[in-house]
Chain A
Amino acid sequence: MADIELLPHNVPSQSELPELVEELTTLNLGPTHPATHGIFQNILKMDGEKIVSGEQTIGYIHRAFEKIAERRPFYQITTLTDRMNYCSSPINNLGWHMTVEKLLGVEVPKRAQYIRVIMMELARITDHIICNSILGVDTGAFTGFLYVMQKREEVYEIYEEVCGARLTTNMGRLGGMERDLSSTAIRKIHEFIKSFPPVLRELEKLLNRNRIFMDRTINVGPISLERALSYGFTGPNLRAAGLDYDVRVMNPYSSYQDFEFDVPIGQNGDTYDRYMVRNEEMWQSLRIVEQAINNLPEGPYYADAPEYYLPPKDEVYKNMEALIYHFKIVMGEIDAPAGEVYHAVEGGNGELGFYLISDGGRAPYRLHFRRPSFIYYQAYPEMCKGSSLSDAILTMSSLNVIAGELDA
């Protein structure tokens, strides 16, 4: 037995093996990939399963909103804003109306402001439940997504009652809302306030202290506060990194100063903190909705600004002035004063700014949208550098990058 050779002759010894060549793989994540939740591409350089570097290509659904806006009367631009962050269109719509109202100097009555707050906070809830439940899906927990989707449906029914549309809402008008809250809408909002907490608690129970979920998200895609500020983070993503900057508190608009709510913050700026901040924000939004609907002031739901706000239809048939204003507004013959306005609202993803320059014409001379997703998404390669591909997908999911807002 001693002279049996264990190795065949043709196997080279260790020292004769050709030297291993380290080679990086290029991986295309997107443009259409189920994990990107939108149309944008990441070209990743991978070393095995680790990401070495990444480069983003965006602009796949760029629709030139800023250019189109230069030809449109102010009220027709609302439909463009719908299509930016389509998970929370009412915030975009109403933020745009507030920008123009600031330019025109129109004071919106308290009731309309409260209705707007209700709609914007409901929109924030729909935005955050999408982000958080999809994060659950990306970690492998599909069930929670279906629970909360049902609740989003109920919010969409409230939208329908308020403005007639569900996704691209075109909500509100310059100077107020297009109609008062109907009794059905009020009933549905009350129902939602009652029925949403158990569902959200269920989602929390499923994820918040779930060992697998925590292992997958804690310390994944962290960003320090300093880098987050340098990268222009705002909204829940900045708050997760530890700064309590919220436009609703710092520059209150639409009567946000009347409501009591907390601004949750995180510590590490990782995926888990972003999840937790969004989760807590939903409770706070619910608090605001509850306060607003219970203290809804009486009074008109639109401002006394006949040259901008479309008169009631029956007035148009009976009243000469109403007919004139109706015609002028519909034909877009309303001149706005010349001026320069920057107005910011707290969108689903952060500070949504509108920079509007009017030269006194019927359309903006220049309109620029400060889109939070566009600004913070550039930090993505830095955040996922060195992590595995599966973690990078969670990082992207928790950043809540919305393709429509990214590309405008």
Chain B
Amino acid sequence: MLTNQEVAEGLLEKFGSQVFDFEEPYGLLTFSTTREEIIPAMEFLRDHKTYQVIFLTDITGIHYPDNAGQEFVVVYHMHSFIHNFRLRIKVALSEADIHIPTATGLFASANWMERETYDFFGILFDGHPNLKRILNIDEMDYFPMRKEYPMEDATREDKIDALFGR
């Protein structure tokens, strides 16, 4: 049984200050890294003799418009079947320089997950073989999951935020 402590120490030993913000929300090891180290970190976890985090569960994005310089976060979920161990990696990106290397070289499943993230957040995965929209139409000229696109029609007066919704 692999513990969060063990993996965190292994990562710190290998990557030093390039991995930071270790947390355990609801028991799931979560840490952040930089976009330069994300692919080496995933490769390290995948090819490590004991950890064997061989499965990429999910890639998605989050938009924090108020975090100046770190508006976007790309979240990776990974899973080691042999130890039944899950972990989460986050990479913060700024809106001005929204590039991150692709993980398609490590996992074939990253292809569509990254396309989906690009489609909804406009995050550019450098080196992706086919980075184009996947669920939305090609002609769309905005990224709909960004927070600046509100769900409701802003001119409506019958639905007040104080009473309904957020």
Contact = CB atoms under 8 A, between A and B. Distances in A.
A256 interface: no
Interface in A194-214: none
Contacts of B154: none
Contact of B134 (A58, A72, A332, A361): A58
Nearest to A230: B108
B77 interface: yes
Interface in B131-166: 133-137, 144-145, 149, 151-152, 163-166
Contacts of A375: 109, 112-113
Nearest to A61: B135
Given A353-B77, A355-B77, A375-B112, A361 B25 contact: no
Contact of A229 (B30, B55, B120): B55
Contacts of A365: 62
A231 interface: yes
Interface stretch (B12-20, B31-39, B80-88, B91-99): B80-88
A229 B165 contact: no
A227 B108 contact: yes
B86 A342 contact: yes
Given A66-B120, A332-B164, A353-B57, A342 B77 contact: yes
- What interface size band does chain B fall in? 35 or more
In this complex, which of B75, B107, B108, B149 has the most chain A Cβ atoms within 10 angstroms of its Cβ?
B108
Contacts of B144: 64, 67
B25 A250 contact: no
Given A72-B165, A229-B55, A370-B58, A378 B108 contact: yes
B54 interface: yes
A3 B26 CA distance: 96
B70 interface: no
Given A67-B144, A71-B165, A332-B164, A355 B60 contact: yes
Given A245-B81, A363-B166, A341 B136 contact: no
Contact of A339 (B26, B109, B164): B26
Nearest to A368: B60
A393 B52 CA distance: 35
A102 interface: yes
Contacts of B86: 342
Contacts of A73: 165
Contacts of B2: none
Contacts of B57: 232, 344, 351, 353, 370
A293 interface: no
Interface string A95-115: 000000010000000000000
Contacts, number: 100
Interface in A357-371: 357, 361-363, 365-366, 368, 370
A331 interface: yes
A154 interface: no
Contacts of A58: 134-135
A251 interface: yes
Nearest to A407: B135
Tell me what chain A mostly uses at the interface: helix, strand, loop, or mixed. mixed
B4 interface: no
Contacts of B60: 355, 368
A342 B109 CA distance: 19
Contacts of B58: 342, 353, 355, 368, 370
A230 B105 CA distance: 10
Given A71-B151, A342-B77, A362-B165, A66 B26 contact: no
A178 interface: no
Contacts of A351: 57
Interface in B97-122: 107-109, 111-113, 116, 120
Nearest to A59: B135
A67 B25 contact: no
A62 interface: yes
B45 interface: no
Contacts of B120: 66
B56 interface: yes
Nearest to A57: B134
Given A71-B165, A232-B55, A355-B77, A62 B145 contact: no
B109 A231 contact: yes
A243 B57 CA distance: 16
A68 interface: yes
B94 to A, nearest CB: 18
Given A71-B152, A232-B107, A353-B57, 6 more contacts: A58-B135, A62-B136, A102-B26, A232-B57, A340-B26, A370-B58
7 contacts: A70-B151, A71-B165, A72-B165, A229-B54, A251-B84, A340-B26, A374-B112
